[in-house]
Structure 1
Amino acid sequence: MNAETKPSRLRDTRITMAHGGGGRAMRDLIEEVFTDVFRPDSDEDQARLSAEALREPGARLAFTTDSFVVTPLEFPGGDIGKLAVCGTVNDLAVGGAQPLWLSAAFIIEEGTEIAQLKRIVASMAREAAIAGVRIVTGDTKVVGRGSGDGVFITTSGVGVIPPGRDMAARHIRPGDVALVNGVLGDHGATILAARGDLALSSPLQSDCQSLNGLIEAVLAAAPGTRAARDATRGGLASCLNEMAMSAGVTVALDEAALPLRPEVRGMCEILGLDPLYLANEGTLVLFVPEDQAGAALAAMHATEAGRDACLIGRAVEKGTIPVTLRTAFGGTRIVDMLVGEQLPRIC
């Protein structure tokens, strides 16, 4: 009998403070909602890990952590659970690491529907399987009604960087080209529409996806790839500013080359937003030597996550401005870091 057909051990339909009290109610919640789905190797207070990849001379561990507080918890194209897995997997992958293990800590507000929590956890398990990672340990806390906002999730990830691989923004050189794997701003625009505050409707879906498979394909085809970064909070603009400052270069973008859906452009025009600052959760920017750009693009186009990949600009000698944009009218404008917050609670 599988977990889906077992009689429920939970007497409540919503989270109560007893589910965080350390007793039978908490154990029933953890077993039915979490361990029956994630299936860790043991019920000890720590995961015990080993991998063949670590035995290679020169292999290094990569470790990252992130917290997720998105509103709403479920949105077109994803939910907070999928987001938590993708965000942590991608933070490892853009550094050249092969993600292997995740932890997941949940802070759950009293009154949260257990059915919704189960959907979120099932979504995490599906995305972990797609990304080829295991959720091996975690924690659950319950806070009183009004002290949280449904569910907060913190995930940490561990991966292995193979010997000889060293991707970092500091390696970017003038002449390198900037590539993105897909359209920009879908996640931020989707969350904005899903909140319903502005009576906006659109067919948009979040781009939330794991990118480790795409990055491995790029590195196989273009081993000279310098650096990658996922363009999450602050969007492409903030991401490129960080990379340009680390590398000591200027990044020159071409507005005509930026891949944007008409719906995202239209929403930004209505609301006075700049799509370059909208969050993405399945879009990254890569810098590769110009002579490997064709191979990198071909490798991305061969994957589902990179079918809309394109070249958007290049690194040039450092100027007074880290990132510039050649506009459709032939002028040049400054693309600065995001100041403030265009849209809070985005990821």
Structure 2
Amino acid sequence: MALRDSHVTLAHGGGGKAMRDLIEEVFTSLFQPPGMEDQARLTSAALAAPGARLALTTDSFVVTPLEFPGGDIGKLAICGTVNDLAVGGAEPLWLSAAFIIEEGTEIALLRRIAATMADEARAAGVRIVTGDTKVVERGAADGLFITTTGVGVIPPGRELSAAAIRPGDRLLVNGGLGDHGATILAARGDLALSTDLQSDCAALGHLMAAVLKAAPGARAARDATRGGVAAVLNEMAEASGVGLVIEEEALPLRAEVVGLCEILGLDPLYLANEGRLVVVVPEAEAEAALGAMRACPEGAGAVAIGRAVADHPGQVRMTTRFGGSRIVDMLVGEQLPRIC
């Protein structure tokens, strides 16, 4: 083993032997990219189908703490990028990963995060094919930032778009809401809160493929990350020009999440999720889509939470437990910073 340092130094970003050792022993030994050129050269039989399209997404990940119950920043990076491709109807295939590492970061921590990324990529059926590392001075990066770019293929004839939502369509989610945001808040330790919560962080490519097979008429899907389910629903209502109604009684919320939000004055609808998506399907396909979700580990808690309506176009409303109605608006500001 050539890498003997316990912490990252500026030399590990200098382009010499120290940098090569860091990249080879911490990253490429696990990711096993095809070749070591300055670019990945990609081929797939899926691209040969007439009408197939490439899908491309990119995202940067920042979270405090870097490791938390149920995951770490590496798991967030893989799952978040896979999910952004999957909800657009693409089959995720390839990822790039770029790391900005703060001087003084423990190399053992980097090894754990890289191992998580390799495991998650393998489980999701994607390959990390290229990447980059940069080292910045102490205090300039809060430990570690990761940027991932994903490439997938959308099969011919598949077109998911929020603009396609119609009155009568059903709104489905694949499990409990707000777990990631609540977990990160508790993990920071600032409020001396003790919970058994774990992040819902998960790659949803396999689940989304099952939904599309069971409900080929699916209109749209979004993963409910920053801004939570409330943000996703408002984006869908605005893009489609229809109204959306959700039922408070139907929302899958853990008692721990509700309790934490009550203590801190937060609304769980705005808490980030990293393994939850909202899928809109025609009424006739709702039960088939729910069945497909529930057959996947990541969708065991799938439920219908509401429907699209012709009333109040572009607006999201919630029917409360007491029979009243309230507007669910976009979040103003940020409930929790540095969360994904």
Q: Which residue of 1 aligns with 2:75?
A: 82
Task: Using structure 1 for the length normalisation, give the TM-score.
Answer: 0.97
User: Which residue in the other structure is 1:168 paired with?
Assistant: 161
Q: What are the Cα deviations for residues 131-186 of structure 1, in whole angstroms up to 9, with x where unaligned? A: 00000000000000011110100000000000110011111101000000000000
The equivalent residue for 1:197 is 190
Select 2:4's aligned residue among 11, 17, 40: 11
Partner of 2:230: 237
1:317-344 deviation per Cα after TM superposition (whole angstroms, max 9, x unaligned): 1416610000011100010001000000
Which amino acid in the other structure matches residue 316 of structure 1? V
The equivalent residue for 2:218 is: 225
1:274 corresponds in structure 2 to 267
SS at match of 1:305: helix
- What percent of counterpart residues are identical? 73
Asked if the contact 1:47/1:136 (under 8 Å) is kept, the reply is yes
State yes or no: 1:300 paired with 2:293.
yes
Distance in 2 between residues matched to 1:228 and 1:342, nearest whole Å:
24
Q: Is contact 2:99–2:146 with CA below 8 Å preserved after alignment?
A: yes
RMSD: 0.7
Query: In the superposition, relative to structure 1, how do residues 318 and 64 fare at CA in structure 2: closer, same or farther (>3 Å)?
Result: farther
TM-score when normalising by structure 2: 0.99
Distance in structure 2 (CA, Å) of the matches to 1:33 and 1:195: 27
2:279 alignment partner, SS class: strand
Q: Per-residue CA shift, 1:82-116, capped at 9, x if unaligned?
A: 00000000000000000000000000000000000
Structure 2 contact 242–313 (Cα < 8 Å) conserved: no
Aligned partners of 1:296 and 1:123: how far apart in 2? 30
> Who is 1:183 aligned against?
176
Tell me what 1:117 maps to. 110
Q: 2:28 aligned with 1:45, yes or no?
A: no
Kept in 2: contact 1:13–1:115 (CA 8 A)? yes
Task: Give the secondary-structure state (helix, strand or coil) at the position aligned to 2:172.
Answer: strand
Distance between the aligned counterparts of 2:270 and 2:58, measured in 1?
A: 23
Matched letter for residue 260 of structure 1: L
Q: Unpaired segments of 5 or more residues in structure 1?
A: 1-7
1:326-341 matches, cutoff 5 A: 326-341=319-334
SS in 1 for 2:30: helix
Residue 136 of structure 2 corresponds to: 143
- Supply the distance in 2 between the matched residues of 1:321 and 1:114 (Cα, whole angstroms): 49
- 2:51 corresponds to: 58
Q: Distance in 2 between matches of 1:302 and 1:120?
A: 29
**How many angstroms does 1:11 deviate by?**
2.4
1:206-221 correspondence runs (5 A): 206-221=199-214
Q: For structure 2, which runs of at least 5 residues remain unmatched after alignment?
A: none
1:253 matched to 2:246: yes
CA distance in 2, matches of 1:177, 1:320: 16
Letter in 2 for 1:49: L
Amino acid at match of 1:9: A
- Structure 2 counterpart of 1:179, one-letter code: L
Deviations along 1:178-202, one digit per CA (max 9) or x if unpaired, are 0000000000000000000000010
1:285 and 1:75 map into 2 onto residues whose CA distance is 24
How many residue pairs are counted as aligned between the two chains? 340
Summarize deviations over 1:223-246 as a string: whole Å, max 9, x none. 000000000000000110001100
- SS for the counterpart of 2:150 is strand
Give the letter aligned to residue 150 of structure 1: G
Give structure 1 regions of 4+ aligned residues with deviation exceeding 3 angstroms. Answer: none
Q: Deviations over 1:242-294 (max 9, x none)?
A: 01100111110100000000000000000000000000000000000001001
